[in-house]
A and B are shown apart, each in its own frame.
Chain A
Amino acid sequence: MSNREGGQNPLAVPYREREKSVTMEALDQGQAPVYGTELERDTELFTLNIGPHHPATHGVLRLLVTLEGEYVHELTPLIGYVHTGIEKSCEDQSYWKVIPFVERMDYLSYYFNAMAFCMAVERLLDVEVPERAQYLRVIHMELNRISSHLFWMATSILDFGAISFLWWGIRDREMTLDLFEMSSGQRMHPRYFQVGGVIEDIPPGWVEKCREFVQRMPPRIEQYEAVLDKNEIFLHRTRNVGIVDTQRLLDLGVTGPLLRASGHSWDLRKAAPYSGYENFDFNVPVGTVGDHYDRYRVRIAEMRESLKIISQALDNLPDGPYITDNRKIALPPRHELATSMEALIHHFKLVTEGFRVPPGEAYAAVESPRGELGCFVVADGSSKPARVHMRDPSFVNLQSLKDMSEGTLIADLIASVAMLDPILGGIDR
């Protein structure tokens, strides 16, 4: 255990030493200024702190960069600035109240966080999710994927210097937020997914509005591609920049568009389908080189595939219940409360105490816009989880930033952060 005096941990490394700037005096004395590296005498290193409050770091990411001229010599990400202890807080909430907490982790893909948690709890409860609920979940998750990728595009291309993309991306994302507001009442963090299904059926007119969005998006995506694909500056800054090979990415645990851009076709929706993804016809876009350009292409192509999935799900949306009819888990319908004493008791028990989950452990993973989002839940038999852990893809993927940017120019580092698409709320939790 470390404390203010320090030095109690036998495994401690002198990280304060590592983070020091390098002076000419130290070089003259022959001390290797950067931990573990041998430097030539006539090079001068410069340590630069980027962040945590910097618009190009997509949140409160702090990067400690040692520069050799304009080149990145060494890079250390320092995180924890928005650590809010959500996992700890979840241990003090009943299961249905955990959902709003986990939704606030990765704040651009809230439906996926809720989905991973609900899947883990459903696995522990061994409860069936009705087919209509599965389809509604898929539609909302794919809308969320599009909105997340649009926001990625908006902020990332902004980092390349094209400010118009910020307005265009947010303009289109607004349409998905309107749909979320219509179905759940909230634009972000909607608490729409519940254990056993979704909280409410979609309102009349939602399907038509969603179809309108599905029709409006393809030409928009084409416009964005038309601007970027022929832009010489963008191509120069993305092609053959930040290449990391597939094996290294796998060793680092990187998943999602970053892995697919390097040519590996791992996608949980295809490989281990959940929530009825096996019913849809869609492709998994992959890259060939694994540079920033491929990462951009993969994400743009994923938006098209998501639109395909939404369109099929709307066409084949089955009728039936939107949440499980197991009254021990899901709230009874509102109208039953007026006539059924039993329903009233169930309602009271669920709202005050929540449902109990038999002891056990479960890990459930979904394919979020950033990769494998896994949720690990330990139940101890009470109505509160004993442990909730989110394997957040941003947290794991961040480690590949070092490989992407060491040896590149500092301008490419900003591009690498943008193409990594880290969400600090998910990294720090």
Chain B
Amino acid sequence: MPDATGLELIAQRVRDELGEDAVVGTSYYRDQATLEVAPARVRDVLEYLKLRDQEPFEFLSSLHGCDYLPDEPRLAVHYELLSMERVERLRVKTRVGVDEAHVPSVVDLWPGANFQEREVWDMFGIEFGNHPDHRRILMPEDYEGHPQRRDFPIGGEPVIFTFNENEGPRWYE
């Protein structure tokens, strides 16, 4: 784990390389370093951290979404980076609002992010620009809504039969 100072150094290097607006903030909590970046710059930051930084994080161990209702901006994507050589983890996080839920895809950097970005799109409705295969993965392809959002209702989902298959589940409105 990079310590609190190490995290600030990483943030400073990212700022020097990509501009002041790339890094939104840093936080260090329970021995975990989190670098918060602007949604439009997240791919640039991750590319820098993977390929060009002096202490690179070459492995993406997890990519997941989160809904921080009632905080704004509500949605977030987390990238759990790992350096196998130094055994260090860094969480890169980006927050987006529900109305502008767009994040650039990192599938070209890590092909393994493919399924995980599709899952975030499926569950949270965050779009990944330039994703090669942008569609739902776990829910049925004609499902309406993004069920992991905190304001998504629980229960009461109607069963679709032939007679009502084209009506659409209006219960979500």
Return the CB mask of A354-366 against B: 1 if under 8 Å, else 0. Answer: 0000001111010
Please tell me which one of the listed residues B32, B59, B62, B64 contacts residue A250 in the complex, with CB atoms under 8 A apart.
B59
Q: Is the CB of B166 within 8 A of A4?
A: yes
B140 touches A80 (CB 8 A): yes
Binds B, one of A84-92, A223-231, A290-298, A327-335: A84-92
CA–CA, A304 and B123, complex, Å: 40
Q: Which residues of A contact B125 (CB under 8 A)?
A: 1
* Chain B stretch 111-153: residues in CB contact (< 8 A) with chain A: 111-116, 119, 123, 125, 127-129, 131-148, 150, 152
Smallest distance from the beta carbon of A128 to chain B beta carbons, Å? Answer: 13
- Docked complex: A4-30 residues within 8 A CB-CB of B: 4, 6, 9, 11-13, 15
Judge whether A4 and B112 touch: CB under 8 Å.
no
Decide if B87 is an interface residue (CB 8 Å cutoff). yes
For residue A11, which residues in chain B have a CB less than 8 angstroms away from its CB? 127-129, 131, 134
Q: Which single residue of chain A is at the shortest CB-CB distance from B114?
A: A399
Kindly name the residue among B64, B129, B150 whose own CB sees the greatest number of chain A CB atoms within 10 A.
B64
Beyond A391-B61, A399-B115, is A4–B168 a contact (Cβ under 8 Å)? yes
Q: State whether the Cβ of A389 lies closer than 8 Å to any Cβ in chain B.
A: yes
Known: A2-B136, A88-B148. A251 touches B64 (CB 8 A): no
Q: Output the residue of A85, A253, A378 with the most chain B CB within 10 A.
A: A253
Specify the chain A residue showing the minimal Cβ separation from B64: A389
A129 to B31, CA, bound (A): 17
User: Is B30 in contact with A251, judged by CB distance below 8 angstroms?
Assistant: no
**Complex Cα spacing A362 to B67, Å:** 15
Assembly CA distance A126 to B30 (angstroms): 8
Contacts of A395 in B (CB 8 A): 115-116, 119
Within 8 A of A (CB), among B79-125: 80, 84, 87, 89, 91, 110-116, 119, 123, 125
A15–B133 contact, CB under 8 A?
Answer: yes
A414 within 8 A of B: no
Q: Which range contains the number of B residues in contact with the other chain? A: 35 or more
Interface centre among A15, A79, A124, A396 (most CB of B within 10 A): A396
Total number of A-B contacts with CB less than 8 angstroms? 131
Chain A residue with the shortest CB-CB distance to B143: A2
Q: CB-nearest residue of chain B relative to A270? A: B87
Which residue of chain B has the shortest Cβ distance to A428 in the bound complex? B138
Q: Which residues of A contact B64 (CB under 8 A)?
A: 376, 389, 391
User: Could you mark each residue 1-37 of chain B with 1 if its beta carbon is under 8 Å from any beta carbon of chain A, else 0?
Assistant: 0000000000000000000000000000111101000
Contacts of A266 in B (CB 8 A): 84
B78 beta carbon closer than 8 Å to chain A: yes
The answer to whether A123 has its CB under 8 Å from any CB of chain B is: yes
A137 to B148, CA, bound (A): 31
Contact across chains for A252 and B112 when beta carbons are under 8 A apart: yes
B66 CB within 8 Å of chain A: yes
Pick the contact of A79 from B87, B113, B138 — CB < 8 Å? B138
Shortest distance between the CB of B96 and any CB in chain A (Å): 15
| Interface flag for A171 (CB, 8 Å) | no
Q: Is the CB of A13 within 8 A of B61?
A: no
Contact A376 B62 (CB under 8 A): yes
Contact B148 A87 (CB under 8 A): yes
Q: Which residues of A contact B135 (CB under 8 A)?
A: 2, 9, 12-13, 15
CB-defined A-B contacts under 8 Å, sample of 13: A1-B146, A2-B135, A2-B142, A92-B154, A253-B59, A253-B116, A361-B91, A363-B62, A363-B91, A372-B61, A374-B61, A396-B116, A429-B138
**4 new A-B pairs (CB below 8 Å) besides A2-B141, A271-B87?**
A1-B146, A4-B142, A361-B78, A374-B62
